[in-house]
Structure 1
Amino acid sequence: MTSTPTVTKSPPALIPPAGPTPCGTLPLSSIDKTVAGSGFVNLIQVFPPPSVSAARKDQGAVAAVAAMRNGFARALVPYYPVAGRVASSGLAVDCTGEGIWFVEAAASCALADVDGLDCFPLLIPGELLLPGPPPGEKLNHHILMVQATRFTCGGFAVGIRFSHAVFDGHGAAQFLTAAGELARGLKAPSVAPVWDRDAIPEAPSPTPSPGQLTELRLVTQVADISAESIARVKDEFKQAAATCSTRDVCSTFDVVTVMVLKCRTLALASALPDDAEVRMAFAASTRHLLRGVLPTVEGYYGNCVFLACLTRTARAVREATLAEVVGAVREAKEEVPARFAGWMRGVEQYDVPPLDYSTVILSDWSRLGFDEVDYGFGAPGYVFPLNNHVNFVAALNYVRPPAPRRGGIRVVLRCVEEPHAAAFAVELAKFA
């Protein structure tokens, strides 16, 4: 395109629940409160255009958005707390039944004109694809907002903002899946929602403050790690494990985490001396650890995460083989059940590593279900985070590569500053 694409937005409109809902105040869980300071999580679901005529596309787009709105309205009945607002204390949800803000928008271009939103920097300003409340409305009290942007080809980008205080990634994907099911005409969500935050005991040990935060000038990068590279490192780990009588199975998560950590540490050689600590922290799921605590974990959409952290010196990471660092990642994961149980009993702290340039926070979105949500126009071809406003912590996300290039893992990275970006890209390219 010769001109910059534009997006025309309609004024935000409230979608209230489609039926009566309970009122009152519901407390957040102790786990919710540990991540409440994370604010909003932003993501974009990209839906390719349908294979129909232009006239059918126009008719289908109107009907698709109407059905989508209806799906959210119906989902807000069983998920009635989502139609409320986070209390001013930040510790509870006021079930007001007001609803969620929904924005309809139209882009001046086809998805193909912006490379299917499959590149960074994006060829269309990302903030144009994200919803917001009307002027004067405070963003931090809202729980979820949606924007459906139609492209001239008939494709859509659905921008989602959700409050991390109310949902973790699994829970948010569960709600969006329910909205999609109801938009497609199902009588009820396939998974019934469960609140039950009060069943999780208050952890006696408060979450320590991460200390003073320093703003980082992070750049966004994308790297595709091939299935072949992942398989090769898994095989290397299996061979190494055979010589020391340990379990020889490691996951794709383990392998990709090691690749990124190693590449970043090598790229930051000028910024991190050999004796500096480097840390890779990741949110480990604790849903399976809450069986017997919650009445049921099926349908629970609150936060079920605990932060695990691998810490090594920069020199140790640079000089170790990938298989050796895989073992360290596995150790950090295996410590989670005991550490989480200790935190619930008040004998273990919820450790937050120093949020400086030596620390990277990792989230794995590749299996949460965001890329399986169907609002009535098929599953998205691509889903990616859009959290460029976060500049106080180096972060990265694992996502599924865009269709049809399935296989391997795509890593969306905001974890290095400009002076180290080129070297980082060179190191990551070795695993493409």
Structure 2
Amino acid sequence: MGFTVRRTSRSYVRPSAATPSGTLELSIIDRVVGLRHLVRSLHVFAPVAGRQGSPARVIREALGKALVDYYPLAGRFVDGPGGPASARVECTGEGAWFVEAAAGCSLDDVGRLDQYPFVIPEDDLLPDAAPGVEPLDLPLMMQVTEFSCGGFVVGLISCHAMADGLGAAQFINAVGDYARGLPKPRVSPIWARDLVPNPPKLSSAPPPFPRMFQFRHLVVDLSVDSINKVKSQFLQSTGQRCSSFDVAIAKVWQARTRSLRLADPSTLVKLFFFANTRHLMRGGASAATAGFYGNCFYTVTVSAESGAVEGADVAGVVAMIRDPKARLPAEFAQWAAGELVEKDPYELSFTYESLFVSDWTRLGFLEADYGWGTPSQVIPFAYHPFMPIAIIGAPPVPKAGARIMARCVEEENLPEFKEEMKAFQK
């Protein structure tokens, strides 16, 4: 078929200039044991007419420059005396793992990776493991796969303990800045983990070993018209405006709840999503925190009876979601003061009646430009077999609207979930 990927070069990219050495302490959020996992994503760049040069070589050189500014990403995670819960970063300058690859086909040959499962397995487009190193000890791994048409795919694997989505995208944009010839990144990074509150350990029982599920993959695009229709309904009924994110997660939560066909309408179903709290740190949304790239989020929890979620219109479900969002500043302040004693918001529990939502539309990955323009699409693979999750992304250019990428139902619930999501478009 010719749809094979051949890895042509594997090596570490070190910072291109001298960087500080020593140990850096992580924040209390960075050290949440559940965040010591790898986040994988594919960033697809269409060919640009007349644009010459090798994207892999350009990105490799720019990566070395960006690692001077973001030198902790060239280091290694090490466990402290308390194991993973006391992990820190050793700034060794050993570098990020970087792979160059070539695909024996064009992006059009593989449908521009618009339909899942892809003709090319995603693992072929992501960097393979560095020899002799535990993957979770590496903050960053990249692979650039060049296609015969001139397009390319950046496969990114990053450890969540180093950065949240906003922080990872900030770094990727810095690589893009250097790739386009800028003398320094547009945003100067700061480590500043001391800006993150460090409350005493809250009392919560250790989470039980999570149940593993056989989640099925589903991708559904929501049109701009269908989203705007709910926004208009919500405005008419409440006098308030809501976001496209509010509408998207309301619809996916309702569709999934209906698909579960829970016998008891009083069964509690829960929705979790992760809100950026940089503006709530010490110093607020000031120049002092503008370049912060560590984990800085808070888990927002929405609980409701399944019958209420199933029976409401989508605008009504939006209202259920917006109330906990409005309480975020007060709850975060309580957590920072060590006053929320019932349950640690960073110790998550996973059940089939729960849904986790992650928004990738506003992180900044869609703005990354290495000299070939911004990506036509970004495809996240932030999935776990114990975590029912839906990721809100953008459909491939030039489509508009929202793309829901979900792995949150098993086979028996998939047909109804799919029909409920499609019905939203009618």
Q: Same fold (TM over 0.5)?
A: yes
Q: Which residue of 1 aligns with 2:37?
A: 39
Superposed counterparts of 1:55-94, under 5 Å:
60-62=52-54, 64-89=55-80, 90=84, 91-94=87-90
CA contact (8 A) 2:3 2:104 kept: yes
Q: Which residue of 2 aligns with 1:430?
A: 423
Residue 340 of structure 1, aligned match among 298, 308, 332: 332
Between the aligned partners of 1:272 and 1:342, the Cα distance in structure 2 is 36
Paired residues in the alignment total 415
CA contact (8 A) 1:180 1:373 kept: yes
The answer to whether the aligner puts 1:101 opposite 2:97 as a matched pair is: yes
- Partner-residue secondary structure (3-state), 2:143: strand
C-alpha offsets along residues 49-73 of structure 1, whole Å, 9 cap, x if unaligned? 1223xxxx7xx343x3222111100
- Partner-residue secondary structure (3-state), 1:263: helix
C-alpha offsets along residues 152-173 of structure 1, whole Å, 9 cap, x if unaligned? 1111010001111010000000
Q: CA deviation at 1:255?
A: 1.1
- Partner-residue secondary structure (3-state), 1:174: helix
Residue 329 of structure 1, aligned match among 321, 334, 355: 321
CA contact (8 A) 1:4 1:124 kept: no
Between the aligned partners of 1:119 and 1:88, the Cα distance in structure 2 is 40
- What is the aligned-residue identity percentage? 40
Between the aligned partners of 2:203 and 2:60, the Cα distance in structure 1 is 38
Unpaired runs of at least 5, structure 2: none
Between the aligned partners of 2:311 and 2:138, the Cα distance in structure 1 is 47
Residue 214 of structure 1, aligned match among 189, 207, 211: 211
Q: Which residue of 1 aligns with 2:15?
A: 17
Q: Which residue of 1 aligns with 2:160?
A: 164
Superposed counterparts of 1:12-411, under 5 Å:
12-34=10-32, 36-52=34-50, 60-62=52-54, 64-89=55-80, 90=84, 91-206=87-202, 208=204, 209-242=206-239, 248-269=240-261, 273-292=264-283, 296-348=288-340, 349-351=343-345, 352-388=347-383, 390-405=384-399, 407-411=400-404
C-alpha offsets along residues 90-146 of structure 1, whole Å, 9 cap, x if unaligned? 421110011100000111221111110111112211111111332332101000111
Between the aligned partners of 2:101 and 2:73, the Cα distance in structure 1 is 23
Between the aligned partners of 1:38 and 1:416, the Cα distance in structure 2 is 25
Between the aligned partners of 1:330 and 1:97, the Cα distance in structure 2 is 44
CA contact (8 A) 2:196 2:296 kept: no
- Partner-residue secondary structure (3-state), 2:158: strand
Letter aligned with residue 159 of structure 1: G
Letter aligned with residue 79 of structure 1: Y
CA contact (8 A) 2:145 2:153 kept: yes
- Partner-residue secondary structure (3-state), 2:40: strand
Q: CA deviation at 1:321?
A: 2.1
CA separation of 1:358/1:207 partners in 2, compared to 1, >3 Å: closer, same or farther? farther
C-alpha offsets along residues 300-346 of structure 1, whole Å, 9 cap, x if unaligned? 00111000011112111111222221111001111111111111111
CA separation of 1:10/1:18 partners in 2, compared to 1, >3 Å: closer, same or farther? same
Letter aligned with residue 224 of structure 2: A
CA separation of 1:394/1:50 partners in 2, compared to 1, >3 Å: closer, same or farther? same
Q: Which residue of 1 aligns with 2:406?
A: 413
Q: CA deviation at 1:5?
A: 2.1
Letter aligned with residue 49 of structure 2: S
| TM-score, length basis structure 2 | 0.93
- Answer with 203-212 or 339-348: which moved more: 203-212
CA separation of 1:429/1:133 partners in 2, compared to 1, >3 Å: closer, same or farther? same
Letter aligned with residue 215 of structure 2: L
